[in-house]
Structure 1
Amino acid sequence: MDMKPPPRKGADFCSLRYGLALIMHFSNFTMITQRVSLSIAIIAMVNNTQQHDPPSASTEGSLTDALHHPNRSSEDFKTRASVYQWSPETQGIIFSSISYGIILTLIPSGYLAGIFGAKQMLGAGLLISSLLTLFTPLAADFGVILVIVIRTVQGMAQGMAWTGQFTIWAKWAPPLERSKLTSIAGSGAAFGSFIILCVGGLISQVFGWPFIFYIFGGTGCICCLLWYTVIYDDPVNHPCISAREKEHIVSSLAQQSGVLSSLPFVAAASCTILGGQLADFLLSRNFLSLIRVRKLFSSLGLLLPSLCAVALPFVASSYMTTIILLILIPGTSNLCDSGFIINTLDVAPRYASFLMGISRGFGLIAGIISSTTTGFLISQDSESGWRNVFFLSAAVNMFGLIFYLTFGQAEIQDWATERTLTHF
């Protein structure tokens, strides 16, 4: 009669694993802001209309003027920020270099995280990315080659961090809570995109473009201190976890492979790059019009993962087929990056950052709603609940696709056109 009662569920949102999810949310927030920083700052970095002081202006004169006119010092510092003669082709290479860096480290970092520990891999990746972000303004003065190298290494560091967090969840997230925990952590990327697109331009305008890198690079360094202080690779070795929560996590977990966890990111990054190349190829050869290219890749990015999701419940008996479909779902969905996601640049380039910030905000809300809905559905019945989750996600994708195919446009809207003021 020596029966052991089943472990009680942890205190949910007051538990240590949800605190870990919040810290990882902050880490993802930091990494995406560092990744997007250059996209915001480059508008001012290549702005040839800025006025500069003549070369003969002395340092002594500048200091004296700043002392007599303290209100002008901030504006003077902002206008003296360097401006570079980077061609559109050069800018394209700079933007894409971080993506190539991420691809280089996705698979090896997943393997190394299983050897050295995900805490060290993710922390090192976040720290390297943050330090390189702080160094970017100085690197730009040394030349575009150094900027490309830094962005590539930064992408490698972020690839380490993206993969490492899933190795951590393999030991911290109970199976019935993985959707909630990973959605809390992953939503940091959407929230970070929303924040930097809203305030990045304001920071550049008020303080100068280098402060975009200083602020978000410094934020990453602070996050690293929090990460190394609070986070442990597994709940067994954490000194502050309660015995009840430790027992709940350990008793409910199954083994998971770090390399396997990294494969969806490899597929996603590959589809993003290949989709962008193919979209530009179709446009440059005039095979399809702009709106048809946008609708084509939106269709692929919404239809393909929907078909994979609907097929999942029917191939559950095949382990390999299930794994392939789970990798293809996030991979093929990134084809939307060449579809409706960048459509704001087509219809309203003047307000692209503002509109993208709004859309990221809706994406953040959708992430919260989806995790709550998923938890509710699988709490009723695990098997049928997951089937309903897949069917519901496919239905939402199909609704969005039909709406976009019906109303999507690629021409600059009247309310977004530049208007010339006429003086009489």
Structure 2
Amino acid sequence: MAEADERTSLLTRRVSVIPPEEPRWIKCRYVFCVMSFLGFVNVYAMRVNLSVAIVAMVNNTAISPNSTYNNDTCPNLEPVPSNSTHNNGDGPFNWDPEEQGLILGAFFYGYVLTQIPGGRLAELWGGKWLYGTGVLITSILTLLTPAAANTGVGMFTAVRIMEGLGEGVTFPAMHAMLSKWAPPNERSRLSGWVYCGASLGTVLSMPASGYMCDTYGWESVFYLFGLLGIVWFLFWAWIVADSPNSHPTISRGEKEYIAKCIGPAHSDKSPPVPWRHILTSVPVWALIFTHIAQAWGHYTLLTELPTFMKNILHFNIMDDAFVSAVPYLLYFIVSILFSPVADIIIDHRIMARSATRKLFNSLGFCLPAIFLVLAGYSGCDVDSTIAFLALAGGLNAFQYGGFMSTHLDMSPNFAGTLLGITNAFANLTGFLAPAFTGYIINQEQDLGHWRFVFFVASIVYFSGNMIYIGFGSIKEQPWNNIHNRTNSQEPASAQQEEGWRGGENGEVQPPTLTYIQIQTSYTRSYDPLSGASELDID
């Protein structure tokens, strides 16, 4: 009992070095969070509007006379009655399913190329201008999309590739910025809130695109979202800073709070990337395969759901867009409500950080896998199909408390580069998944072929989660500070034996018997300055 009291007293003295935050209604890290959230709203609005617009752009009558329909389809279904009159005429382009798959996937040819450079440049030079410029370039190219489409498939594909080059830096740059702005005990919620802008962008873009196509023509979709992206960039350039240290109006209390919480795990100067250690790390490769599995399931729904709704369930363009947005509305709600839950579980020591990450990842992968299978076998029962697909898309948001926070846990110094690596591999599925779907359903528009597409996505989800559970790790990796340790006069192991480093003004805290006992009871990831959220029970 006395030992426990002594341990509690010691922890109290350690934590007391954190200065209290000044009472401000609006904290700069939350302003950064809101602006980043709105940035991803624009990013995904410009990315997915083509998924809806292409339904209005293609002349299906001209390309489908040889399509095969059998009894395993829903030829006369009227799923959503409407009193309004919709423009259901065919579009001007005779693109077959394989060409449509190429166009939908072209974005990702460029997207994967700038992932790793984007992450590293953000670590070296800061993410503000890199992230903002990426969105600005994509916005300008979105405005040029109608002219490119009317020029020909080649020009249209080239513009989509260039849009991918611009957007490719956004996620790695944001992860690099989060590593500077997000205290460890807020990582799940801040990353979840920032990235759920992607789902809200999808929710807003799909029905808005359907309405615009139906009312003003497909060209208007690209003009609207391109203009909104440029307006967002102006506010981003004015309000946001690269880090707390460079923010002109941040309070001293908030700046010191963030710095103390993040501690020495994040260096002010980005060291050289330890490529050999990263590329030979088993947890990194587990993260890569997990991210690939996530992306395959995600892009199968994102790019192909409007086509499934129209060709199999026979929704018109307006209803198609609204229903296709339902999974992402649920995704947004789950992100907002449940991302903080992971932090709460860790903060209150209900579960260790590792167990919490793997629990949330399992929920975000296995539940969607189950509902995709159920959707494939729900036949022409429209209500059940929509419900299962909505749950498959929405519950995937649990992943923000899972593998999507793991990059920050493993390596705050190289979080941008690490996400760039995993996202580059993952987004190969951005063109592979549409191409695979186009190959499977080409001139075979029936439930059986779509059922196979959903079943494959389900298997990929299950496999990715098993890899993460078996080989994933949330512990800060030795190579995160390898250059600091190399330059030190004594090895890291000796430093750890002497005691905890990083007290006020950076002095070395004297070793104590009680602290050494805590070190043997808990993992090294516990940092008293970052709160109980850093405690992982061995």
Q: What is the TM-score with the length of structure 2 in the denominator?
A: 0.55
Q: How far does residue 406 in structure 1 lie from its aligned partner after superposition?
A: 5.5
Alignment match, 1:333: 294
Instruction: Kindly indicate whether the alpha-carbon contact (under 8 Å) linking 1:82 and 1:141 is maintained by their aligned counterparts in 2.
Output: no
Q: Does 1:119 align with 2:87?
A: no
Cα distance in 2, alignment partners of residues 234 and 92 from structure 1:
40
Cα distance in 2, alignment partners of residues 149 and 214 from structure 1:
18
Instruction: Kindly indicate whether the alpha-carbon contact (under 8 Å) linking 2:305 and 2:324 is maintained by their aligned counterparts in 1.
Output: no
Q: How far does residue 121 in structure 1 lie from its aligned partner after superposition?
A: 1.1
Where do residues 304-323 of structure 1 align in structure 2 (5 Å cutoff)? 320-323=281-284
User: Deviation digits for residues 70-107 of structure 1, max 9, x if unmatched?
Assistant: xxxxxxxx999983333333322211110111111111
Q: Which has the higher helix share?
A: 1
Q: How far does residue 355 in structure 1 lie from its aligned partner after superposition?
A: 2.9
User: Deviation digits for residues 369-395 of structure 1, max 9, x if unmatched?
Assistant: 221211211121287255234225425
Cα distance in 1, alignment partners of residues 291 and 205 from structure 2:
24
Q: How far does residue 128 in structure 1 lie from its aligned partner after superposition?
A: 0.3
Q: Does 1:99 align with 2:111?
A: no
Amino acid at match of 1:360: Y
Where do residues 139-288 of structure 1 align in structure 2 (5 Å cutoff)? 139-253=148-262, 254-255=265-266
Instruction: Kindly indicate whether the alpha-carbon contact (under 8 Å) linking 1:110 and 1:258 is maintained by their aligned counterparts in 2.
Output: no
Q: How far does residue 44 in structure 1 lie from its aligned partner after superposition?
A: 2.2
Cα distance in 1, alignment partners of residues 166 and 368 from structure 2:
34
Instruction: Kindly indicate whether the alpha-carbon contact (under 8 Å) linking 2:58 and 2:90 is maintained by their aligned counterparts in 1.
Output: no
Amino acid at match of 1:329: T
Instruction: Kindly indicate whether the alpha-carbon contact (under 8 Å) linking 1:198 and 1:353 is maintained by their aligned counterparts in 2.
Output: yes
Q: Does 1:33 align with 2:48?
A: no
Cα distance in 1, alignment partners of residues 90 and 60 from structure 2:
12
Instruction: Kindly indicate whether the alpha-carbon contact (under 8 Å) linking 1:48 and 1:83 is maintained by their aligned counterparts in 2.
Output: no
Q: Secondary structure at the match of 1:85?
A: coil
Answer with 337-346 or 347-356: which moved more. Answer: 337-346
Q: How far does residue 213 in structure 1 lie from its aligned partner after superposition?
A: 0.6
CA 1:396–1:138: 2 relative to 1, 3 Å = closer
CA 1:407–1:165: 2 relative to 1, 3 Å = closer
Q: Does 1:16 align with 2:28?
A: yes
Answer with 330-339 or 398-407: which moved more. Answer: 398-407
Alignment match, 1:380: 348
Question: For 1:361, which of 311, 316, 329 is the aligned residue?
Answer: 329
Alignment match, 2:455: none
Q: How far does residue 158 in structure 1 lie from its aligned partner after superposition?
A: 0.4
Instruction: Kindly indicate whether the alpha-carbon contact (under 8 Å) linking 2:134 and 2:168 is maintained by their aligned counterparts in 1.
Output: yes
Instruction: Kindly indicate whether the alpha-carbon contact (under 8 Å) linking 1:37 and 1:200 is maintained by their aligned counterparts in 2.
Output: yes
Alignment match, 1:313: none
Q: How far does residue 137 in structure 1 lie from its aligned partner after superposition?
A: 1.1
Q: What is the TM-score with the length of structure 1 in the denominator?
A: 0.69
Q: How far does residue 17 in structure 1 lie from its aligned partner after superposition?
A: 0.6
Cα distance in 1, alignment partners of residues 58 and 358 from structure 2:
45
Cα distance in 2, alignment partners of residues 396 and 31 from structure 1:
22
Instruction: Kindly indicate whether the alpha-carbon contact (under 8 Å) linking 1:101 and 1:153 is maintained by their aligned counterparts in 2.
Output: yes
CA 1:4–1:378: 2 relative to 1, 3 Å = closer
Q: How far does residue 46 in structure 1 lie from its aligned partner after superposition?
A: 2.5
Unaligned segments of structure 2, at least 5 residues: 1-12, 63-86, 274-279, 386-538
Cα distance in 2, alignment partners of residues 348 and 203 from structure 1:
22
Cα distance in 2, alignment partners of residues 125 and 16 from structure 1:
23
Q: Secondary structure at the match of 2:352?
A: helix
Cα distance in 1, alignment partners of residues 373 and 16 from structure 2:
57
Q: Secondary structure at the match of 2:93?
A: coil
Instruction: Kindly indicate whether the alpha-carbon contact (under 8 Å) linking 1:111 and 1:258 is maintained by their aligned counterparts in 2.
Output: no
* Sequence identity percentage: 28
Q: Secondary structure at the match of 2:248?
A: coil
Instruction: Kindly indicate whether the alpha-carbon contact (under 8 Å) linking 2:207 and 2:321 is maintained by their aligned counterparts in 1.
Output: yes
Instruction: Kindly indicate whether the alpha-carbon contact (under 8 Å) linking 2:199 and 2:328 is maintained by their aligned counterparts in 1.
Output: yes
Instruction: Kindly indicate whether the alpha-carbon contact (under 8 Å) linking 1:45 and 1:209 is maintained by their aligned counterparts in 2.
Output: yes
Cα distance in 2, alignment partners of residues 170 and 243 from structure 1:
19
CA 1:407–1:156: 2 relative to 1, 3 Å = closer
Unaligned segments of structure 1, at least 5 residues: 51-77, 261-318, 417-424
Cα distance in 1, alignment partners of residues 204 and 40 from structure 2:
13
User: Deviation digits for residues 153-172 of structure 1, max 9, x if unmatched?
Assistant: 10010001222111111211
CA 1:34–1:10: 2 relative to 1, 3 Å = farther
Cα distance in 1, alignment partners of residues 105 and 111 from structure 2:
10
Question: For 1:348, which of 300, 306, 313 is the aligned residue?
Answer: 313
Amino acid at match of 2:166: A
User: Deviation digits for residues 40-63 of structure 1, max 9, x if unmatched?
Assistant: 22222224789xxxxxxxxxxxxx
Amino acid at match of 1:157: G
CA 1:404–1:41: 2 relative to 1, 3 Å = closer
CA 1:90–1:235: 2 relative to 1, 3 Å = same
The number of residue pairs the alignment matches comes to 332
User: Deviation digits for residues 264-292 of structure 1, max 9, x if unmatched?
Assistant: xxxxxxxxxxxxxxxxxxxxxxxxxxxxx
Cα distance in 2, alignment partners of residues 404 and 81 from structure 1:
30
Cα distance in 2, alignment partners of residues 234 and 107 from structure 1:
20
Instruction: Kindly indicate whether the alpha-carbon contact (under 8 Å) linking 1:111 and 1:259 is maintained by their aligned counterparts in 2.
Output: no
Which structure has more relative contact order (CA 8 Å, sep 6+)? It is 2
Q: Secondary structure at the match of 1:14?
A: coil
Q: Secondary structure at the match of 1:7?
A: coil
Cα distance in 2, alignment partners of residues 402 and 384 from structure 1:
27
User: Deviation digits for residues 216-269 of structure 1, max 9, x if unmatched?
Assistant: 101100111011111111111110111111111122223277998xxxxxxxxx
CA 1:400–1:115: 2 relative to 1, 3 Å = closer
